[in-house]
């Protein structure tokens, strides 16, 4: 039989015959090379080697069937025939192979080094494991969802690829209570992660580390010490609703609910909101939303669709001073601002509406005043946005005053209960009531500018 050719009958024995009658052929065609592997042995069997090392292997034929010699034998590595200059006949029944500067294994199950008879049939095989010992795992980070469990993630050592199967084991123990535990649920949030579902103690720190082992050695990460209470995260706030604020073109109102899982625990929640225009990838973040469950976004573009997300940080659990871990962002909620009724480009977050050149220096001074107020007044809710709000209202009310029978814009504040203190000096706060909901709009008036009407037209 010429080298490399296979018995056609054997081929049909391998392949499921497409027609029934061919089943008969299966009986006639005996698989080739049936007793081959019994008749040769490769040494070393399944060695483990460092990348760059050399290997000297031998294929010894046992002389069954008699007359078998090392003549005509050849090597393949991962299915590829090796150049003959790497092989050498040592004696009548042994063929040697010299490989130098080995690369990392092609697959983690080991490189397939095979010794073939002259006709191509397999006589023996050996799996070569060529790689590197594991590096110290790094960047262990853990979090507890609602204080019920602990999930940890880590990164394998700097170079990553060891070419060998590396087993990672996450271990943990309570600091003063001796016994090592091993995490059992792996790959929960990615390939290098583990989840400890229960039996977690509070108020005592845990020591956590990761051990990496492969055929060439092992490595252990640094120990991370943490207290469950310091790494608590929660689900994202549910029921996020975004809605328009009456007819205001540049504002949207966001409302959400505090995550229910932590309601029994004493903690304060911090929230963060982020929003972006539909076609953009740039998120704007609103950071200082502390413990409220609603917020008003202002300075938006009219007639635009916005996507909004909220996330929560449970800090101060059981009086801990540390911040918790931010939850995932809630599912994006979309809403659109009303279309602008005035032609021309929509304003940016802080641009003045319409052209009022005399407002330049006024705005600057107002900005400075508000900055001062924020630092010195207890009510820090006054902001430039509030001024914009008022201006928007003013412009609208100008329009309505010029038309007969139009109603005042229905404006609402996100937080209803905040009182405005009596402002010093030049400004006075004027209270305007809008009917229907009983909400209030706080406006500012200044001498020299259009006064806020004291007797608003009923809506």
Partner 1 sequence: MDLRAGDSWGMLACLCTVLWHLPAVPALNRTGDPGPGPSIQKTYDLTRYLEHQLRSLAGTYLNYLGPPFNEPDFNPPRLGAETLPRATVDLEVWRSLNDKLRLTQNYEAYSHLLCYLRGLNRQAATAELRRSLAHFCTSLQGLLGSIAGVMAALGYPLPQPLPGTEPTWTPGPAHSDFLQKMDDFWLLKELQTWLWRSAKDFNRLKKKMQPPAAAVTLHLGAHGF
Binding segment for partner 1 (CB under 8 A), chosen from 42-50, 318-326, 365-373, 401-409, is 42-50
Q: Are 210 and 176 in contact (CB under 8 A)?
A: no
Among 9, 51, 69, 76, binds partner 1 (CB under 8 A): 76
What minimum distance in Å lies between the beta carbon of 29 and partner 1? 10
* Least gap, CB of 37 to partner 1 (angstroms): 5
Residues in the chain: 459
Query: Is 56 among the residues that bind partner 1 (CB under 8 A)?
Result: no
Determine if 86 is a binding residue for partner 1 (CB under 8 A).
Answer: no
Under the criterion CB under 8 A, does residue 33 sit at the interface with partner 1? yes
Q: Tokens standing for 97?
A: 């192979």
Show Cβ contacts of residue 171 under 8 Å, excluding neighbours closer than 6 positions: 180, 181, 182, 183, 208, 209, 210, 211
Assess 342 for contact with partner 1 (CB under 8 A): no
Closest contact distance (angstroms) between CB of 191 and partner 1 is 8
CA-to-CA distance for 375 and 12, rounded, in angstroms?
Answer: 88
| Separation of CA 38 from chain center | 52
- Nearest Cα neighbor of 266 from 314, 232, 198, 324 is 314
**Which stretches of 303-344 are assigned E, i.e. beta strand?**
305-315, 333-336
Task: Provide, rounded to whole angstroms, the least separation between the CB of residue 331 and partner 1.
Answer: 28
By the rule CB under 8 A, 13 interacts with partner 1: yes
155-194 binders of partner 1 (CB under 8 A) = 165, 186-187, 191
* Residue 312 makes contact with partner 1 by CB under 8 A: no
Of 96, 124, 128, 127, whose CA–CA distance to 40 is shortest?
124
* Closer residue to partner 1, CB minimum distance, 187 or 416: 187
Distance CA 299, CA 108 (A): 56
Neighbouring-strand partners of residue 21: none
- Using CB under 8 A, which of 24, 257, 266, 379 touches partner 1? 24
- Regarding 443 and contact with partner 1 (CB under 8 A), the answer is no
Output the CA angle 270-281-413, nearest 5 degrees. 45
Does residue number 195 form part of the binding site for partner 1 (CB under 8 A)? no
Shortest Å distance, C-beta 143 to partner 1 = 22
Q: Which residues bind partner 1 (CB under 8 A)?
A: 6, 10-11, 13-16, 18, 20-21, 23-24, 26-27, 31-38, 42, 45-46, 76, 78-80, 106-112, 114, 121-122, 124-127, 165, 186-187, 191
């Amino acid at each position: 039989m010429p080298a490399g050719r296979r018995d056609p009958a054997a081929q049909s024995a391998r392949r499921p015959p497409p027609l029934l009658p061919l089943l008969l052929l299966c009986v006639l065609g005996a698989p080739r090379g049936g007793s081959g592997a019994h008749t040769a042995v490769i040494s070393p069997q399944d060695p483990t080697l460092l990348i760059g090392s050399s290997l000297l292997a031998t294929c010894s034929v046992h002389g069954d069937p008699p007359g078998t010699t090392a003549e005509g034998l050849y090597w393949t590595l991962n299915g590829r025939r090796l150049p003959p200059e790497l092989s050498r006949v040592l004696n009548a029944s042994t063929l040697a192979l010299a490989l130098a500067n080995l690369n990392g294994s092609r697959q983690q199950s080991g490189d397939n080094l095979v010794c073939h008879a002259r006709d191509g049939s397999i006589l023996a095989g050996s799996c070569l494991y060529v790689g590197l010992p594991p590096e110290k795992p790094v960047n262990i980070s853990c979090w507890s969802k609602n204080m019920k469990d602990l999930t940890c993630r880590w990164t394998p050592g700097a170079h990553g690829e060891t070419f060998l199967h590396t087993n990672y084991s996450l271990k943990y123990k309570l600091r003063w209570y001796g016994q090592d535990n091993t995490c059992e649920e792996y790959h929960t949030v990615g390939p290098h992660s583990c989840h400890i579902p229960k039996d977690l103690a509070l108020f005592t720190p845990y020591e956590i580390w990761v051990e990496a082992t492969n055929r060439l050695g092992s490595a252990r990460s640094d120990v991370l010490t943490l207290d469950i209470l310091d790494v608590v995260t929660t689900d994202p706030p549910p029921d996020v609703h975004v809605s328009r604020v009456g007819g205001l073109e540049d504002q949207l109102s966001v409302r959400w609910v505090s995550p229910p899982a932590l309601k029994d625990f004493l903690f304060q929640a911090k929230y963060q909101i982020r929003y972006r225009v539909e076609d953009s990838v740039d998120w704007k973040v609103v950071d200082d939303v502390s413990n409220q469950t609603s917020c008003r976004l202002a300075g938006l573009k009219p007639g635009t669709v916005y996507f909004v997300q909220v996330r929560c940080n449970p800090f101060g659990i059981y009086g801990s001073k540390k911040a918790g871990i931010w939850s995932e962002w809630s599912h994006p909620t979309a809403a659109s601002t009303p279309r602008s009724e005035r032609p021309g480009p929509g304003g940016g977050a802080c641009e003045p509406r319409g052209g009022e050149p005399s407002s330049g220096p006024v705005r600057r001074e107002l900005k400075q005043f508000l900055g001062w107020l924020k630092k010195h007044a207890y009510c820090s809710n006054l902001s430039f946005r509030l001024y914009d709000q008022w201006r928007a209202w003013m412009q609208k009310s100008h329009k309505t005053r010029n038309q007969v029978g139009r109603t005042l814009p229905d404006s609402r504040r996100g937080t209803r209960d905040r009182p405005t203190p009596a402002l010093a000096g030049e400004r006075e706060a004027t209270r305007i009531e809008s009917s229907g909901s009983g909400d209030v709009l706080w406006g500012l008036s200044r001498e020299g500018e259009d006064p806020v009407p004291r007797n608003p037209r009923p809506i």
